[in-house]
Each structure stands twice: as C-alpha cells, then as structure tokens.
C-alpha cells in the first residue's frame, strides 16, 4: 500500500509524528517495537514509548525478523508503525548478521504490505566519524538501509525540533 519513512535526530519527535501518521490511516493499528531492554535506561525508554501509545495499537515486539512479521500481519491492519529501523540495524550487528543484506527484505516487505507501513529511523550520518569500527559499521549500515527505505517510500519526513518537514 504505502511505505512512509520518518527520520531525524534523537528526541526530535519522530515517534510522536509517526503515531499521528498511523492514526490518520485508520483505527486498526499495529506497533512493531524493535527495542530490546538490555539495561535499565532502555527499559525506561521503552516504558515512555508505551505510555505515548494509546491502547488502539496492537503491539508486537520483534527485534530481528521484521520483514517476516510484516508479511504475516500486513493484511490485518490499516497501518503498521515500526519503531525503529536503527535499533533493528543495531540488533542485527550485535547478532552477527548483515543488516544491509537483510534491509532490502525489510524494505520490500514494508513497501509491499497491504497496510500502510511507517518506518521510524534515526539519522546517524550528521555527526563525527565514529572512533571504532563497530560504530562506523553501524553508521554506514543505518545510512544505507535508510537510503533504501527512502527510495521506496512514497512519503519521507525529516523531524527537526518536533516539526515535521516533508522531503518527499
């Protein structure tokens, strides 16, 4: 149906805007959480995000196989919000798999889903060159997966200070 990409920096309002875009597309909504609560700080972030969602969202927690999940549930919802693509990239790097190779599958599943799929992602390329190889690999993989998603998306939003700028 429709792939929509919402990107920006940390705490820029990406998730809030993505939630609003999902609500505009219907009342039967899914939320795919890719975060893993590996420490107390991440547990707090996940709790904050849960509090921002109303109960109209059916939540799925899937840190790795988002493409398969989208293929399975894509026809059951008006909109599916995936938050977030950069955590998905990180999860795959830490699991030893190749997020760039798998990113094409995720983007294809999102673009081909009967439901509108809204991908939330972080812009990771505007900062300094990371000091270590894993951080550079993450930055590059996230940038390449973001580009693949933006290419297939019918709408792309860049969030700045809570303000959505439509760039496509």
Q: What is the pLDDT of residues 103-150, one digit of tens each?
A: 999 999 999 999 999 999 999 988 888 899 999 999 999 999 999 999
Catalytically annotated residue among 14, 17, 25, 49: 49
Instruction: For residue 95, give its domain range.
Output: 2-166
Is 17 catalytic? The answer is: no
> Which CATH number does the domain housing residue 151 bear?
3.40.50.300
Cα gap 125→139, rounded to integer Å: 6
Cα gap 109→69, rounded to integer Å: 9
Give the pTM: 0.93
120: left (phi over 0), alpha (psi -120 to 50) or beta: beta
Our count of domains for the chain comes to 1
Q: What is the pLDDT of residues 10-57, one digit of tens each?
A: 889 999 999 999 999 999 999 999 988 888 887 888 788 778 777 889
């Amino acid at each position: 149906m429709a792939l929509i990409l919402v990107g920006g920096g940390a705490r820029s309002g990406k998730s809030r805007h993505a939630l609003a875009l999902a609500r505009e597309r219907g009342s039967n909504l899914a939320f795919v959480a890719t975060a893993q609560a590996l420490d107390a700080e991440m547990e707090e972030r996940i709790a904050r995000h849960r509090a921002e969602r109303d109960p109209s969202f059916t939540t799925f927690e899937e840190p790795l196989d988002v493409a398969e999940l989208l293929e399975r549930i894509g026809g059951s919802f008006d909109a599916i919000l995936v938050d977030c693509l950069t955590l998905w990239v990180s999860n795959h790097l830490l699991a030893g798999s190749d997020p760039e190779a798998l990113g094409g599958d995720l983007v294809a599943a999102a673009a081909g889903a009967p439901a509108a799929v809204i991908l939330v992602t972080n812009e990771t390329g505007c900062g300094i060159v990371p000091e270590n190889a894993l951080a550079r690999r993450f930055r590059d993989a996230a940038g390449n997966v973001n580009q693949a998603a933006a290419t297939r998306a019918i709408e792309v939003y860049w969030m700045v200070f809570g303000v959505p700028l439509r760039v496509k």
